[in-house]
Amino acid sequence: MEHGPAIPVASEPDAFLQSQSQERVGAGLPAVKLLNTGQDAFLARAALIETANQRIDAQYYIWNDDDSGRYLASRLVAAADRGVVIRLLLDDINVAGKESLFALLDAHANIRVRIFNPSRSRDGFGRWLSFIADFDRINRRMHNKTFVVDGLVGIAGGRNIGDEYFDQHPTLNFRDRDVLVLGPLAGDMTANFEAYWDSPWTLPLAELYPKPEQAQPKLSALIESAASRHYHIEPPGNRQTARGYLETLFANTVSAPAELVFDPPPEDPDAPAEAPQRTAQALYDLVEDARSEILIESAYLILTDNQLKAVDGIGNGRLEVAALTNSLATNDLVTNHSGYARWRRAMLEQGIELHELRPDAPACQRWVAASAACDGGEVSLHSKAVVFDRETLFIGSFNVNLRSIYLNGETVLVIKSPELAGAVADDIRYAMEPRNSWRVELNGQDELVWRSEGQEVQHEPEVGFWRRAMSRMLSWLPIEKYL
């Protein structure tokens, strides 16, 4: 090992985190807090890394090699230097091009990196060819996003690791949500993590990429380089500052009944994915119990005949369903939008109220800490939450689409709290206002129209002809399960 022998690991979790967890977790109920902005989400993760004393388990679909990704990676190295054991678990689909960063981390004696469901070929044309040859297996992805420190504090939600998730990107930032938890739910997140860590479909990174030479000076340079950069959001500089930030954060948690639901890794990824997974079934159960209102906030939204049957009470006055998703102008993936567009009319005919986010939504100023990025850029929806009767919140990595229902591993929290559910419901309704979103409807001629602030458009607004044409052509293909 270039970085020397492993530093002895602390036998106990951090005393501050222990005392905070004991203090906040009352009457056996977990303490939870929404992380609504990228700023809060970034600072919470950064502060938890500084405070960790025993171990950090991080599980992500995407970890970008950008300023945010390298900063958090550098602090993981610093934590490993003081004896914290780091386990980093990544899905393979987004590792290409960033492998040098992860191989460098894996060279540290106290850091282990593993990759879920890797392709057999690692680069170039062969990598893409393996996606085609192993189509069923490669489509089973680990979309889970969890971050657990000392087994006491966890974060789960929709955010990956990267500038656009943490209000740090100069032109395009995501509206997203996470939930911070203290108490037994953090242990449940660890069980989720270990199910994938120990899966036979997960391989050590060292079996896929060679270890870098001269790792120790490169690890030191990573820490120094990240510390010298300017960030729109100033991270905590030391453990004392981090604890002060976390103490304020923890003081604003809410005690509420909550459950973590996650999809276990597939036993046989080559087998057909025909049954809804555990997280999807939890969503179906909540839909069945809904009395009056369901509010959906989903970056990628695809409901086909099977799912629409589950909400057949719409239109008879029993149940109102309203959904916020990306417009073609704000969607980062035209392919995903095409699947939504294929079923948009059916959703409207079922009685679902549809709203599509505007790229120039003034809500960006509320959601994104770097307001200059709103002035000169765009905002896109990446959050995934469903609110039932303003009483129950379903939130996590689960998009309301077929990929999350059948193919991806997902993690969600089901929180029974009128306070939190009401707050998210108010946020969704605010985002649905005409200044922030277009409402999509069928006019008197049974044509799709987009309405906002007294204006009406009869095609996908704020995008050029070719983007509209590409989405339309892709919408003719029955590929929505894989989007």
**Catalytic amino acids?**
143, 145, 150, 382, 384, 389
CA–CA gap between residue 51 and residue 53 (Å, rounded): 6
CA separation, residue 172 to residues 84, 373, 411 (Å): 34, 7, 26
Question: What's the CA angle centered on 13, arms 71 and 228, to 5 degrees?
Answer: 15
Helices 38-51 and 239-251: angle between axes, nearest 10 degrees: 130
3-state secondary structure of 27: coil
CA separation, residue 389 to residues 299, 318, 350, 428, 450 (Å): 21, 12, 19, 13, 27
In residues, how long is the chain? Answer: 483
Where does 443-480 show beta strands of DSSP type E? 448-452, 455-457
Residues 6+ apart with CB under 8 A from 258: 29, 30, 32, 181, 185, 413, 414, 415, 416, 417
The CA dihedral of 86, 92, 98, 100, to the nearest 10 degrees, is 60
Residue 365 has which token pair?
Answer: 């100023």
DSSP 198: T
DSSP characters over 267-310: S-TTS---S--HHHHHHHHHHHH--SEEEEEESS----HHHHGG
Residue 316 has which token pair?
Answer: 């008879």
CA–CA gap between residue 70 and residue 162 (Å, rounded): 9
What sign does the CA torsion over 430, 434, 438, 440 have?
Answer: positive
CA–CA gap between residue 349 and residue 327 (Å, rounded): 19
Paired with 374 in beta bridges are none
CA–CA gap between residue 315 and residue 60 (Å, rounded): 39
The phi-psi region of residue 389 (left if phi > 0; otherwise alpha if psi is between -120 and 50; otherwise beta) is left
Our measurement of the distance from residue 355's CA atom to the centroid of its chain's CA atoms, rounded to an integer in Å, reads 21
DSSP 409: B
